[in-house]
Amino acid sequence: MTVYFIGAGPGDPELITVKGLKLINHCSVILYAGSLVPREILRDVDGTAEKIVDTASIDLDEIVGHMVEADKGGKDVARVHSGDPSLYGAIGEQIRRLDELGIEFEIIPGVTAASASAAWLGKELTLSGVSQTVIITRYEGKTPFPERERLPALAASGATLAIHLGITRIHKVVEELIPHYGEDCPVAVCYRTSWPDQDKVSGTLKDIVQKVRAKKFTRTSLILVGQVLGAEDFRDSYLYDESKAHVYRPKVKGAKPRNIDTALAHPAGKA
């Protein structure tokens, strides 16, 4: 028996992985976070799965209780979370319980809200000479934060930021970011990315608060901040630069490609 922690993606039922969907269809018991996972993902097992439980209204002990019951019956469990379960999925405490109980588990990754939002915006979050780092974080609330991870400390890097759970305090987010990014830094706020009622707004740190309040976003929104959102004059990546040689592409056009196995074993070209 195995508990599969499956990332269902940000909302669009088609953004779940093939492996994740196969496992949902395979498992007899399905525990899904109904407040964030669309029921449509379970359409193939409605009426055939032995048990389908929406965990939105139950606590950790009850969730683990369903897993223990399934384990006793030798039945695999699909524990379906939104996005990627390893990011803000609250699976750590579930895994700890399973370890204590000797129940096997496996994590199936999913599409994150950050990657889906970047796709929706038509943006790359890492651009040569602009930003090579993406920081995924959340705004401080009930969850304790180490001082080194508070927003001003992260903002000092100048990296692209993807901020969860900060929409109701966006005025505070802006106040803490302006000293590091400047008022003209581009910002995008994506509400319920990939859901049927998805919405978004773009602006700068100077005007994004008014724009968000005009949209009346109060939950389930991701705040993306960084120069990559507005950059146009950036360098091409070296990846496809004809003047930059690498193991898969010779430097001189028309030259015979090196044997890949040999090149990997002897990167300096020496036998």
pLDDT digit string (tens) for 15-58? 999 999 999 999 999 999 999 999 999 999 998 999 999 999 99
Which pLDDT score, from 0 to 100, does residue 265 have?
61
CATH architecture label of 113-229: 2-Layer Sandwich (3.30)
**Quick one: fold of 2-108?**
Cobalt-precorrin-4 Transmethylase; domain 1 (3.40.1010)
Query: So what's the pLDDT on residue 271?
Result: 45
Whether the per-residue pLDDT at 12 is higher than 80: the answer is yes
Q: What is the pLDDT of residues 204-259, one digit of tens each?
A: 999 999 999 999 999 999 999 999 999 888 887 767 766 777 777 676 555 555 56
Give the pLDDT mean for 60-76: 97
Q: Which two tokens stand for residue 118?
A: 């970047």
Q: Are 55 and 63 in contact (CB under 8 A)?
A: yes
Give mean pLDDT, residues 81-103.
96
What are the helix (H) ranges across the chain?
Answer: 18-26, 60-72, 92-101, 113-121, 151-155, 170-181, 208-215, 260-265
| Mean pLDDT taken over the chain | 91
Per residue in 147-179, pLDDT (tens digit) is 899 999 999 999 999 999 999 999 999 999 999
Sequence spans of domains, the chain: 2-108, 113-229
The pTM is what?
0.86
CB-based contacts of 244-248 (< 8 A; 24+ apart in sequence):
none
